[in-house]
Amino acid sequence: MDKEKVEQLKIQTQQWLNEAEEFINHIPPVQLYTAVGVVLSTLILLLIIRLFKRTTSNTIVLTGLSGSGKTYLFYQLRDGSAHQGTVTSMEPNEGSFILHSEEDKKGKLKPVHVVDVPGHSRLRPKLDEFLPQAAGVVFVVDSVEFLPNCRPASEYLYEILTKASVVKKKVPVLLLCNKVDKVTAHTAEFIRKQLEKEIDKLRTSRTAVSDADISNEYTLGVPGEPFAFSQCHNRVIVAEASGLTGEISQLEKFIRENVKP
């Protein structure tokens, strides 16, 4: 009995194929080609949309000089507390989570993948592991100890702003002035201006040897004009925060602007 059913199914399938072939033969070539073109175009469009969704990043990279308070900020974002951020990180802190301030919306929002990259000069090459996947970069500056660290901070920021992985994808950068709760903290405007001045000096000196620079593919600013962050290929925003007290609303806003719920 099973063999009879299989045989009947084969006969029925062959009939369908014959009918389909006959139907196609009666379609004018122009209409047939048009139909095939529409189907292929639709499939290609769906494939592009699917690939785009897959490549949309949810990674936010926290970086900056050692001691700037990145780890405080990491734990504030995750736990709403800086209790574990008292030791200088020697390995990246990494995690995917709903921001602590959005815990009541858990299940409705897309988790954020936050990476806290150590600021020690020996460990900075680890940054290159995460930048290609970054939806945004947060460069943290110590507002209290800014002046003695202005030059090294400028050099590190210059490297990030000229990296191909940042420029080509136009990865937004948040220049986050941390520790603003302290009385001796410098203002965000002062820090921005000083960094622009230092980067202006750096780009002048480095332009002369740019042909030999294989790590960076891009230069900053407009020739003949003082450097300003507004001249960058990507968007650079200046904001303030306090990892110790938990005032990180501007940081959270930047994250949600670049990692959609």
Average pLDDT of each block of 10 consecutive residues along the chain (261 residues)? 66 71 68 61 61 67 93 92 63 86 79 89 82 95 96 95 92 96 96 96 71 60 90 94 93 93 72
Cα–Cα–Cα angle for 37, 42, 44, rounded to 5 degrees = 95
Q: What is the pLDDT of residue 212?
A: 44
DSSP at 185: P
Measured between alpha carbons, how far is 208 from 206 in angstroms, rounded to an integer? 5
Q: Is 96 helix (H, G, I), strand (E, B) or coil?
A: strand
Q: What confidence score (pLDDT) does residue 213 get?
A: 47
pLDDT given at position 224:
86
Res 52: pLDDT: 46
Can you give the pLDDT at residue 44?
67
pLDDT at 214: 46
pTM metric for this prediction: 0.75
Q: What is the pLDDT of residue 211?
A: 47
DSSP string, 198-245: HHHHHHHHHHTTGGG--S-----S-TTS---GGGSSS-EEEEE-BTTT
How far is Cα 159 from Cα 150, in angstroms, rounded to an integer? 14
